[in-house]
Structures are given as C-alpha cells and as structure tokens.
Amino acid sequence: MPVIFRNLRWQLAFWFIILTMTVYIIAAVLGCLIFKTAMSHFVDYELTALTNELVPVIDVIDGHPSLQRWKKNVFKGPFRYLPMIQLYDQDGKLIEAYGPPGIPILFSSGKHTRKDIQEETYHVRVHSVPLRDDHKLIGYLQLELSLKNVDGALYNFAVTMGLIAPFLLVGFGLAGYFFSSKAAKPIEESFAVLQRFMADASHELNTPISIILANAESIEADIENESVKARLATISGSAERMNSLVGDLMLLAKMENSLVLSEKSIIELDKLITIVVSDFRELFKAQSVELKENTLEPAQIFGDAESLKRLIINLLQNALKYTDKGGVVEVSLKTVGNQSRLTISDTGVGISTENLSHIFDRFYRADPSRSRAAGGAGLGLSIVKAIVEAHKGHINVESSPGAGSTFSIYLPLKS
C-alpha cells in the first residue's frame, strides 16, 4: 500500500477517535450537570413539600414558634431519613431541632432562602422560611437535607464514565481504523488505476522516444546542411527532455508502489556521496560555483543504491541550478542518534515561506521561468521525497529568499 494511504488511514482513524472522544467527554460532563440539576430539583421539591406540611402545624407559644405538639401527637416514626428540622426565634437563636444532625445556624436573610452549604463534615441543602403571626415576624423554620447520597451518586457516575473511557478509546480506535479503511478504499482504487496508467503510459512512451532520438542522432551525423543539423539538434534535445521526464514519472510510479524495497542492500552512504560529488565537480567548475565536500562520517544504511544516488543527484542539480556564479554548495554527512543526516546547503536564491510548503508537490516550480530555463519540470523534489519515504526517512528544508537553502535528509542507519 502506498505510504500516503497508510498515513491517510491512520490520520482518518486518529481524527475519528479525537472526535468521538470529544463528544464522549462533552456528553459525560453534560450528563454530570444534568444529573446534578435533576437531583437538586428533587431535593428542593421534597424540602418545599415538607415545609408546606409543617408551617400550618407550627404553634405559637409565648411569641415563639414550636413544633413540640406536632412531634408528640403526629410524628411517631424515626427521623433518620428526614431533613433536620430547626426552629429559630426572630433573632436567629435556635430554639427547637428535630431529626438527624445538621448545621445549627440560621441561613435565612429574612426571606425564603434555598442554598447549598458545604462545611467540613456536612454538605446540605438548606431551605428556610420566615414565620409570621399576624404579620409579625416570630421566627424561622429551617430544613436541612444532607446531600451525601447525591454527592456519592454523582461521584459514582463520574468514576464509571472515566472507567469506561479507555475501553471506548480502544473500541473507537478499532472502529475508526475499520471505517477509515473502508472510506479510503475507493480513493486508493482510483489512485492505483491512475498510477498504473502513469506507469504504463511512461513505459509505452519510452520506446517511441528512444526511436526518435536514435534516428535524429543518426540523420544528424549523416547530414552536412547546418540549418537541417540545427533543427535535428532541437528534435534530439526535446526528445531527450521528454525521455528524462518519462524516466522521472516511471521512477515516481515505482517508488509509490514501494517496488524499490525489493532492491535494497547495505549501502555505504559516505562512499556513494563521494562518487556522486566527484561526478559533479566539472559541472560546478564550469558554472563557477564552488562545491565543498565537508565531513562525511561513515554511515551504513539499508537501501537502494540507484535511488539514493538519484536523490543526491537531484539535490546537487537543484543547488547548482538555483545558485548564481561565485556561490558555494556544501555537502556533509553526520550521524545523529540512530540516523544519518545528509546536508546539502547552498548560498543560492532561497525559497519563500509560501513556496516552501509546495516544493515537494509534483510539477511545482517556485520560480517557473528560472526552473524551465534550467530544464526543470518540478519533479525533482517529489522524487527526492518519494525516495526518502521509501527508506523510512524524512526531509527537512530551511530556506529564505536570498539567504540560500539547506536540505537535510535523515535516513535510518542499518541496525
């Protein structure tokens, strides 16, 4: 499977997990809030109902409210499940209390009051109402209901949601990978058809181009007429350009099908670089660009020699193409951890930030006039990237206009 699809599947699966987990977390938080609100309403309803039952049976004894008669005559059961019932005088002093322990402080501010009170040992919902006799304030009735069970239920709910999360993560991950594979399949199939077409077309074009080239060259050799010779040279030049384009497309198709992997062997990268660099010396000299071979640390990698050679050639060709007379191109090879880093830097025209993100796209030319004049079709760096990926490496570019460019290729060392 081509690398881009392997990445696409994982990327789709990753976003599917992120999306579903976000929805799950939002649902869990909302669930907690809804649960808490529902429980609060329920508690308030209970407190209001009890208040409505109690207020009419409160006696007024010596100007103070009292529930003693109610307790004696009406209520006989245990108080355990009830709120704490408290009666205060008009100054807020506790005068009677029934039921389980609570907080013996009046929380009313002269009006109906409902609030949650959190103290060290207690978390209670408080409901207090002012009591009047002939419009005169005689005291307060305050009910306090413990929220211990509500808090416990809420805690259990949150813990359960948290415990389910890792299982959901695995489930969503598997589902995400399964669905993304299904979603990517039609794209993969059309891509495969396109790739096959590209490979076949390039292959089919190869023979007629070679025939044109061979014939043009042989006629050129036989003919004396200079003007015809010049026209034939144009034909061979164009045919050669077409030949190299077809070669590039065939190589790209080969890379994307990972065919290069079958041709891997142990490569001494430093030696390979020395060979390619020495092949380029004359060309650089002819264009008055200095080619410096800096430290080349010995590095063995498991790869395809022809492709790696092509990678170095493409980068050196670009460095030369985009560096003016008097410029310098430097090549170095260093070991960084378990990777080998090949650096090719130049003092050339550089690349702007907006172009930097596109230079590895096929047929992309940041400076079309300069690139075309130098015979570039915008495939060189796509091939470099495909070769690097086929070797499980990565590429990094640092560049800015006028300040030159540095291409760093990281390839895993042979273990």
The one-letter amino acid code at 94 reads: L
Please pick, from the candidates 67, 349, 386, 395, the single residue that binds ligand ADP as defined by CB under 6 A.
Answer: 349
Please pick, from the candidates 83, 99, 176, 348, the single residue that binds ligand ADP as defined by CB under 6 A.
Answer: 348
- Work out how close the CB of 372 gets to ligand ADP at its nearest, in angstroms, rounded to a whole number: 8
Contact 302, 340 (CB under 8 A): no
Q: Give the ranges where 79-147 is alpha helix by DSSP (H).
A: none
Contact 144, 83 (CB under 8 A): yes
Residues 6+ apart with CB under 8 A from 67: 54, 57, 58, 59, 85, 87, 96, 98
Please pick, from the candidates 51, 108, 307, 318, the single residue that binds ligand ADP as defined by CB under 6 A.
Answer: 318
Select 350 or 393, whichever has its Cβ closest to ligand ADP.
Answer: 350
Q: Give the ranges where 322-409 is alpha helix by DSSP (H).
A: 353-356, 368-373, 380-390
- Work out how close the CB of 367 gets to ligand ADP at its nearest, in angstroms, rounded to a whole number: 5
Per-residue binding string, ligand ADP, 125-164, x by CB under 6 A, is: ----------------------------------------
Residues 6+ apart with CB under 8 A from 89: 64, 65, 95, 138, 139
Please pick, from the candidates 364, 412, 413, 414, the single residue that binds ligand ADP as defined by CB under 6 A.
Answer: 364
Select 183 or 313, whichever has its Cβ closest to ligand ADP.
Answer: 313
Please pick, from the candidates 405, 409, 410, 411, the single residue that binds ligand ADP as defined by CB under 6 A.
Answer: 405
Q: Using the rule CB under 6 A, is 289 a contact of ligand ADP?
A: no
Please pick, from the candidates 89, 144, 256, 346, the single residue that binds ligand ADP as defined by CB under 6 A.
Answer: 346
Q: Using the rule CB under 6 A, is 172 a contact of ligand ADP?
A: no
Select 109 or 369, whichever has its Cβ closest to ligand ADP.
Answer: 369
The count of other CB atoms within 10 Å of the CB of residue 210 is 13
The residue behind tokens 């408080």 is: 126
Per-residue binding string, ligand ADP, 36-65, x by CB under 6 A, is: ------------------------------
Select 87 or 381, whichever has its Cβ closest to ligand ADP.
Answer: 381
Please pick, from the candidates 232, 251, 255, 359, the single residue that binds ligand ADP as defined by CB under 6 A.
Answer: 359
Q: Which of 130, 118, 56 is nearest to 91 (CA)?
A: 130
Q: Which helix (H) or strand (E) holds 294?
A: strand 290-296
Pairing state between β 394-399 and 84-89? unpaired
Question: Distance from CA of residue 147 to its chain's centroid?
Answer: 42
- Residue of this chain nearest to ligand ADP (CB atom): 376
Q: Using the rule CB under 6 A, is 371 a contact of ligand ADP?
A: yes
Q: Which stretch binds ligand ADP (CB under 6 A): 9-17, 35-43, 155-163, 359-367?
A: 359-367
The C-alpha atoms of residue 89 and residue 144 are separated, in whole angstroms, by 17
Tokens of 226: 């200079």
Q: Which stretch binds ligand ADP (CB under 6 A): 9-17, 111-119, 257-265, 364-372?
A: 364-372
Burial of 53 from C-beta contacts in 10 A (0-12 / 13-18 / 19+): exposed
Q: Using the rule CB under 6 A, is 308 a contact of ligand ADP?
A: no
Q: Which of 259, 239, 250, 256 is nearest to 203 (CA)?
A: 250
Q: Which helix (H) or strand (E) holds 349?
A: none
Specify the DSSP class assigned to residue 171. Answer: H
Q: Which stretch binds ligand ADP (CB under 6 A): 133-141, 199-207, 330-338, 373-381?
A: 373-381
Select 308 or 381, whichever has its Cβ closest to ligand ADP.
Answer: 381
Q: Which of 392, 361, 395 is nearest to 252 (CA)?
A: 361
Select 47 or 386, whichever has its Cβ closest to ligand ADP.
Answer: 386
Please pick, from the candidates 128, 380, 387, 393, the single residue that binds ligand ADP as defined by CB under 6 A.
Answer: 380
Q: Using the rule CB under 6 A, is 319 a contact of ligand ADP?
A: yes
Question: Distance from CA of residue 187 to its chain's centroid?
Answer: 22
The C-alpha atoms of residue 277 and residue 113 are separated, in whole angstroms, by 87
- Work out how close the CB of 388 gets to ligand ADP at its nearest, in angstroms, rounded to a whole number: 13
Please pick, from the candidates 381, 388, 395, 411, the single residue that binds ligand ADP as defined by CB under 6 A.
Answer: 381
Helix, strand, or coil (residue 229): helix
- Work out how close the CB of 286 gets to ligand ADP at its nearest, in angstroms, rounded to a whole number: 18
Question: Which parts of this chain interact with ligand ADP (CB under 6 A)?
Answer: 318-319, 321-322, 346, 348-351, 359, 364-367, 371, 376-382, 405
